[in-house]
Homo-oligomer: A and B are copies of this chain.
């Protein structure tokens, strides 16, 4: 499917507390992700860039030494190799996330 409406797109359970739907091409992976309130990824890194935008809700992210609470229409760019993590608070968050297909 070439086009998605993120307000109505049906997501599926990806991990406990995270719903998602992915489009996988030859070299990009685009994922819509909805993360529940009170979840956390304390940090990890990988050797490819990753980026995205908050569509709805709120999330705290850190990328290297930068840390910010992001809401709707705020984007992030995680350079290859940089440690990053995230945390939700009292509400869920919906993201559109894009990364390299790890082939």
Name the residue on B nearest A97 (C-beta).
Answer: B98
By size class, the interface of chain A is 35 or more
Does A11 have its Cβ within 8 Å of any Cβ on chain B? no
* Segment among A12-20, A36-44, A70-78 that sits at the interface with chain B: A70-78
Q: What residues make up the interface of A, taking CB atoms closer than 8 Å to B?
A: 1-7, 23, 25-28, 30, 32, 48-51, 53, 55-56, 61, 63-64, 66, 68, 70, 73-80, 96, 98-100
Can you list 7 pairs linking A and B with CB atoms under 8 Å apart? A3-B70, A3-B74, A3-B76, A4-B76, A25-B79, A28-B98, A30-B98
7 smallest CB-CB distances across A and B, nearest first, come from A25-B49, A28-B49, A2-B63, A2-B66, A26-B80, A98-B98, A23-B77
